[in-house]
């Protein structure tokens, strides 16, 4: 009986502890960190590029990082991905993709087909960043960054930097799907460009934000207009705003937002009106105006910041709703949440209603910090002249 029990245990152990039946050696797998796609104008095929990091040891023993680009094409994105596996002569794992770059040409023709795969494929994380560009995709993926900060792909590094400095609105796959499927909000994707080229090294930058009508790119808004969007839709806690001094005083006031809070309040009492309330706290980081920090002057600077923020918000609202016929702020989404019956009765005519909507924008700014000094050194120096 004892032997029988032992044999049963051994038999069970052989089936349970037999190892990983589908294991693959890591050396036989390629891990791209970024992917880019374009629609070939001649063939209509999807051209797919994947960025792979290659490391080697330099002459002084330091690690040298370079980028290799894999290429393939297909009638669909899935076919292009499978063909790339054949050309790489290795299994490809897409689990390390940090950034997905889409050509401007492809984005203008519509992304619904590729977004279907990206929403289903379990190896593509919904936290991957989305970018649009009019640059050559191979050059963008193969270029080495001027400064390597340890992030696998420079495209992810510039995206993280853009978020920290509030130069653009960072958009992930999840963000795009959320806006695309929402009631009353259109998607946006930041545009990346090559600012400088020095040999095989490139410097990337964000200058514009792409605005979409459903899945199609219709145009771009400027960096200043993007700031107007950020003040309303997210808590801006960084960036560098330069504001002219008061009339009669030459110079610039530079501030850094510390904390912002915003509220969007729709009201349909007689006609649709939307109130936007923004509260901003900021630190003073530079002031070239000859100003002493009296209470009146601090209030004056607060007023200048309020005017600046309000102007940017108004500018972005007017351009996106009149030139592009888009609601990128999600005002329709707020109306839907507060007045669902009103929304269902008017959603098919929302953009016409939105174009005629009255906005009341109030901004309350408060200076919290002035750094190590209070009065402008320009004032101190000129006083001694």
**Per-residue pLDDT tens digits for 185-206:** 999 999 988 878 777 777 788 8
What are 347's two structure tokens? 């959603």
Q: Is the model's pLDDT at 328 over the cut of 80? A: yes
DSSP state, 290? -
CB proximity list for 212: less than 8 A, separation 6 or greater: 107, 186, 187, 188, 189, 218, 326
DSSP letter string, 2-65: HHHHHHHHHHHHHHHSS--TT---GGGEE--SEEEEEE-TTT-PEEEEEEEEEEEE-TTS-EEE
pLDDT at 334: 93
Query: The whole model's pTM is what?
Result: 0.84
Question: What percent of the chain clears pLDDT 70, i.e. is strictly above it?
Answer: 78
Maximum Cα interatomic distance, the chain, rounded to a whole number of Å: 107
As a whole number of angstroms, the distance between CA 372 and CA 376 comes to 11
Q: Which domains does the chain show, CATH number per domain?
A: 29-221 (no CATH), 235-385 (3.30.300.210)
Whole-angstrom CA distances from 11 to 1, 3, 5, 15, 18 are 15, 12, 10, 7, 11
Chain segment 109-161, per-residue pLDDT in tens? 999 889 989 999 888 889 899 999 998 898 888 876 655 555 556 676 666 66
Q: What is the mean pLDDT of the chain?
A: 82
Average pLDDT over residues 39-62: 80
As a whole number of angstroms, the distance between CA 79 and CA 316 comes to 40
pLDDT at 145: 63
Whole-angstrom CA distances from 208 to 18, 122, 134, 382 are 55, 31, 12, 40
Contact by Cβ (8 Å): 3, 24: no
pLDDT at 292: 77
Distance of CA 270 to the CA centre of its chain: 37
Extract long-range pairs of 17-22: CB within 8 Å, 24+ residues apart.
none
Q: Give the confidence band of 319 by pLDDT, cuts at 50, 70, 90.
A: very high
Q: How many CA atoms lie within 13 A of 172 on its CB side?
A: 12
pLDDT at 41: 86
Q: Is the model's pLDDT at 14 over the cut of 70? A: no
Chain segment 329-359, per-residue pLDDT in tens? 999 999 999 999 999 999 999 999 999 999 9
pLDDT at 220: 95
- Winning range, highest mean pLDDT, from 167-176, 248-257, 262-271: 262-271
What are 276's two structure tokens? 């936007």
Contact by Cβ (8 Å): 70, 49: yes
As a whole number of angstroms, the distance between CA 210 and CA 133 comes to 9
Q: Is the model's pLDDT at 23 over the cut of 80? A: no
Average pLDDT over residues 303-330: 93
pLDDT at 45: 93
Lowest mean pLDDT among 132-141, 172-181, 254-263, 373-382: 373-382
Task: Please tell me whether residue 305 adopts helix, strand or coil conformation.
Answer: helix
As a whole number of angstroms, the distance between CA 356 and CA 300 comes to 33
Whole-angstrom CA distances from 312 to 96, 133, 135, 218, 357 are 37, 25, 28, 21, 18
Chain segment 67-118, per-residue pLDDT in tens? 788 899 999 999 999 888 876 667 888 888 889 999 999 999 999 889 989 9
Q: Is the model's pLDDT at 39 over the cut of 90? A: yes
């Amino acid at each position: 009986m004892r032997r029988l029990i032992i044999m049963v245990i051994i038999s069970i152990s052989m089936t349970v502890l037999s190892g990983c039946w589908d294991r693959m050696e890591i050396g036989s797998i390629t891990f791209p960190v970024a992917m880019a796609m374009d629609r070939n104008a001649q063939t209509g095929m999807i051209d797919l590029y994947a960025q792979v990091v290659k490391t080697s040891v330099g002459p002084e023993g330091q690690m040298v990082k370079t980028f290799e680009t894999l290429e393939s094409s297909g009638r669909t994105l899935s076919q292009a991905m499978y063909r790339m596996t054949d050309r790489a002569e290795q299994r490809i794992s897409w689990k390390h993709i940090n950034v997905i770059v889409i050509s401007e040409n492809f984005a203008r023709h519509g992304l619904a087909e590729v977004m279907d795969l990206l929403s289903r494929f379990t190896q593509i994380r919904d936290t991957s960043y989305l970018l649009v560009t009019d640059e050559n995709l191979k050059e963008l993926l193969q270029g080495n960054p001027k400064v390597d900060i340890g992030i696998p792909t420079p495209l992810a590094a510039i995206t993280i930097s853009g978020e920290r400095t509030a130069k653009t609105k960072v958009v992930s796959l999840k963000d795009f799907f959320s806006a695309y499927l929402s009631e009353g909000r259109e998607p946006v994707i930041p545009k990346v460009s090559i600012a400088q080229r020095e040999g095989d090294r490139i410097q990337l930058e964000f200058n514009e934000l792409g605005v979409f009508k459903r899945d199609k790119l219709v145009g771009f808004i400027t960096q200043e207009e993007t700031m107007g969007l950020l003040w309303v839709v997210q808590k801006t806690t960084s960036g560098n705003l330069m504001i002219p001094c008061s009339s009669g005083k030459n110079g610039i006031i530079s501030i850094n937002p510390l904390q912002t809070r915003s509220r969007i309040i729709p009201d349909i009492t007689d006609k649709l009106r939307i109130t936007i309330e923004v509260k901003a706290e900021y630190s003073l980081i530079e002031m070239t105006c000859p100003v002493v920090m009296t209470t009146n002057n601090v209030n004056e600077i607060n007023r200048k910041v309020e005017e600046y923020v309000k102007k940017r918000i108004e500018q972005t609202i007017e351009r996106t709703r009149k030139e592009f016929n888009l609601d990128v702020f999600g005002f329709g989404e707020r109306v839907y949440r507060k007045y669902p019956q009103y929304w269902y009765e008017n959603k098919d005519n929302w953009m016409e209603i939105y174009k005629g909507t009255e906005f009341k924008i109030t901004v309350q700014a408060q200076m919290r910090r002035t750094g190590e000094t209070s009065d402008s050194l320009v004032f101190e120096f000129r006083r001694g002249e």
